[in-house]
Chains A and B, each alone.
Chain A
Amino acid sequence: MSNLRTPLYQWHVDHKARMVPFGGWEMPVQYAGIGPEHKAVRSGAGLFDISHMARVSFGGTAALALLEKVFTNSVATMKDGQVRYGLVCKEDGGILDDILVYRWPSGFAAVVNASNREKILAWLEPHRTGLAVEIQDRTFDTAMIAVQGPKSVELVAGLFADDVSGLKYYYATPTQYLGNPCVVSRTGYTGEDGFEVIVPNALGVALWDEFVAKGAVPCGLGARDTLRLEAAMPLYGHELNESIDPIHAGLAWAVKLDKGEFIGRDAIRKATADTTKPVRVGLEIEGKRAAREGCAITDADNATVGTVTSGSLCPGVDKSLAMGYVDPRVASVGSALDIDVRGTKLPATVVPLPFYKRKK
């Protein structure tokens, strides 16, 4: 099966990006280098093609009811224009995806992980049966571009029909770009201030070029991964999967057990009392060597107490950082552990998450 291409595919190739398959799409992993791209986002502004993310719209009188049923966070309490992070879970509490829900006066939208687009659309089908809901997959009609970093607020100035610089964090607004409808949200996946813009396909390259001309540095998935790791944001398929529940993933804040019935609620409530299952922690590793997904985490007696889910040298803090799941008995901050990297034990310490927090 060949990979899908975003409206910016040719731009990436023309600008010497190294392209890799990701979530069913052919995406840039880097242009100039992961280190400089990462640092551009921390100190200036970086630009990401995130058109591979699935964009789904929900209309009809029962859209709210459907979303409340499948989403762990509260939807009814959202204001118009608000964006909220949460999970879609199975009955047993296992995570099917982590998504963003947008509330509009006339309906809702969701941004879903690329690799889970088909799974989530299929999951919604039986649950919408009998409900007055129209679901539209808009992924292939639109491009999605993220501009991230402390300078991103300067870069969006004057680009859209409305001034978006006053948007609050995790709010979105419909506006126009070059006379065409678009959506701008103050959201991101880097731990910095920033915006994500959804525009019709045909305007993707124009908007991208405009950001580049204003000084935004094109960034690939490599920098996106090290940035989100520093910010301790989970990545589906690594920190999250169908056998992990939101509580042990450290995402209890994105679950509203008292909002009413939703799929997975009873199992998640039970999970809150389960003190035996592995929990997500942050690990800081001595030296420059990286821990990788799948590496065993061991205790002082050399017993395996967990597994690494993501790890890399992180260019911003210049430390080797990892996230993983460990036995709750060794999960407290300060806990001294080892990570087995191809037979070499790297000393590591459990540290508070996130590793990096921007100054407000």
Chain B
Amino acid sequence: MSNPSNLRYATSHEWAKQDGDIATVGVTAFAVEQLTEPTYLELPAVGAALKAGDKFGIIESYKSTSDLYSPVAGTVVERNEPLVDEGKRKGDPKPVNDDAFGAGWMVKIKLAPGATLDHLLTAEQYDQQLASEGH
């Protein structure tokens, strides 16, 4: 799999993409492959304030339950609503499985004043992390 060069990566396998002061966040295709296909997703409410490294949600697969960690500091301004349960409507996290770097995005975070993506890995560095873990 290839990790897009226009994204930045957390060692915990989330990605972030910056457009102005908004960072779109998801998990990497590698993470999805390790988890097996996602079955349930829990995301923070719009307005939630996050620090980089804060737990922001839960992803479940047939095999495992894992926490999601925010790669950046800021405030959640949008969620990928079809992925999550809302009232009686059941969410479907399938886009995370099919298109982790695209349609499977999870939240958009308005960066806190002064917050950047500079502390995150580049695609090349993330590739190296996966390689050093033997993948």
Residue positions of A touching B, CB distance < 8 A? 18, 29-30, 33-35, 222, 225-226, 287-290, 292, 312-313, 315, 341-342
Structural contact, B97 and A18, CB atoms closer than 8 A: no
Contact A313 B33 (CB under 8 A): no
Name the contact of A290 in the complex, choosing from B37, B40, B85, B90 (C-beta under 8 A): B40
A222 CB to nearest B CB, Å: 6
| Residues of chain B lying within 8 A (CB to CB) of residue A315 | 62
Q: A288-B39, A289-B60, A312-B62 given as contacts; is B90 within 8 A of A18 (CB)?
A: no
Q: Does B36 contact A34, Cβ atoms closer than 8 Å?
A: yes
Does A30 contact B65, Cβ atoms closer than 8 Å? Answer: no
Q: 1/0 contact trace for B19-43 toward A, CB 8 Å?
A: 0000000000000011011011000
Any chain A CB within 8 A of the CB of B89?
no
In the complex, residue of chain A having the shortest beta-carbon distance to the beta carbon of B92: A288
Known: A18-B33, A288-B90. A34 touches B63 (CB 8 A): yes
User: Total number of A-B contacts with CB less than 8 angstroms?
Assistant: 47
Alpha-carbon distance between A315 and B60 when the two chains are bound, in angstroms: 14
Write out the residue numbers on chain A whose beta carbons fall within 8 Å of the beta carbon of B85: 287-288
Beyond A18-B33, A35-B37, whether A342 also contacts B63 by CB under 8 A is no
- Please determine whether A313 and B36 come into contact, CB atoms closer than 8 angstroms: no
A222 neighbours in B (Cβ, 8 Å):
36, 62-63
Assembled-state Cα–Cα distance A290/B42 (Å): 13
Residue of A nearest to B62 (CB): A34
Residues of B within 8 A of A288 (CB): 39-40, 60, 85, 90
Are B65 and A33 in contact, with the CB atoms below 8 A? no
| Bound CA span A18–B61, Å | 15
Please state if B36 and A290 are interface contacts (CB–CB under 8 Å). no
User: CA–CA, A313 to B65, complex, Å?
Assistant: 11
Nearest CB in chain A: distance from B8 CB, A: 26
**Besides the known contacts A313-B62, A342-B65, 12 further A-B residue pairs in the complex with CB atoms under 8 A apart:** A18-B33, A18-B34, A222-B62, A288-B40, A288-B90, A289-B60, A289-B65, A290-B40, A290-B62, A290-B65, A313-B60, A341-B65
A33 lies within 8 A of B40 (CB): no
* A-chain residues with CB within 8 Å of residue B63 when the two chains form the complex: 29, 34, 222, 225, 312
- When chains A and B are docked, how far (Å) is the Cα of A222 from the Cα of B35? 11
